[in-house]
Structure formats: C-alpha cells, structure tokens
Amino acid sequence: MLSYQVILERLDSHGSVASCKDAEITLDTDVHGRTDAFNPAELLLAALAGCIAKGIERVAPMIDFSFRGLEVRVGGVRQDTPPKMASITYEVLVDTDESDRRLELLHENVKKFGTVFNTLAPGTEITGRLVRTQRREQE
C-alpha cells in the first residue's frame, strides 16, 4: 500500500499553505473567498483532473497509445444541505490520431484504475467523456 501525507499551515484568516514532498500550494481558506488560490472544492476537482492526466500517462505506454497532448476540464456542482459535491462533469481532450475504439479503451482504463476517480465515484455522480482533438498547424 502507498501512503501519503499533506501538511496544512494556516497563514492568516485569508489563506493557508499545504505542503508535501518539496511542493507547496496556497489554499483559499478565507470565508469570503479569494481569487488567487484554489478553495477546497476546486482543489478536489483539480485532484480529479490530475488523476485523469496521470492515469493517461500511466496507461498510454501499456496500450501503446500515441498522443501529443491533452487537456482536462472538470466542473462540479455543490449542494448546500448537506454540503457536498452533488455532481462532477469532465471532458478530456486528447490530441491524437488514434481510433475511436482506442480512445474508448484509454477512457475505460483511466476510470477503472484512477485512485481519486474511484474514491469519489461511490458518493458523487461523475460523468464525462474523452474525445479526440487535434492542434491546428502553425500557419
């Protein structure tokens, strides 16, 4: 089993810093919000986006899937009572020439083996799609 540890330190009433390994991220823990940092809900959505991207990086070599780049877009709807993320939607744009079937295979593997994805899925409605996109050639 793998284990993880994150330490959060309150800076002041406007924010905190979370750290792990050699990395730090400023968090919006201000009750009035701030625009220059992720709030906890946004951080959760970023964790899912990171999980999807890391899953693609892990699975692509195993299934010999070729791609040039990717973008993950994640949105969430929060309900007030009880407070929780009611639903999450995502779209993964993959710059690739692979077939539709290969895109489906990549998507299924990402959903099946994603730690954050599988942690959230039992208690949150998660819907999304993985689609092909191609960068425009420089003119």
Residue 108 sits in a domain whose CATH number is 3.30.300.20
The 10s digit of each residue's pLDDT in 117-131 is 999 999 999 999 999
Quick check: 74 and 90 in contact, CB under 8 A? yes
pLDDT of residue 136: 53
Q: How far apart are CA 69 and CA 9, in angstroms?
A: 35
Residue 33 is which amino acid?
G
Nearest to 55 by CA among 99, 92, 101: 92
Residues 44 and 33 in one domain: no
Residues 64 and 31 in one domain: no
Residues 119 and 53 in one domain: yes
Residue 90 is which amino acid?
Y
Structural domain range at position 18: 1-37
The 10s digit of each residue's pLDDT in 25-75 is 999 999 999 999 999 999 999 999 999 999 999 999 999 999 999 999 999
User: Does the residue 89 lie in any domain?
Assistant: yes
Quick check: 18 and 8 in contact, CB under 8 A? yes
What is the sign, positive or negative, of the torsion defined by CA atoms of 123, 124, 129, 130? Answer: negative
**Degrees to nearest 5, angle at CA 20 with 17 and 26:** 20
Is pLDDT above 50 for 12? yes
The 10s digit of each residue's pLDDT in 26-36 is 999 999 999 99
- Average pLDDT of span 101-130: 96
DSSP symbols for 52-107: HHHHHHHHHHHTT---SEEEEEEEEEEETTTTEEEEEEEEEEEE----HHHHHHHH
Residues 54 and 86 in one domain: yes
Q: What is the pTM assigned to this prediction?
A: 0.92
Is pLDDT above 70 for 139? no
Q: What is the pLDDT confidence band of residue 135, given thresholds at 50, 70 and 90?
A: low
Is pLDDT above 80 for 137? no
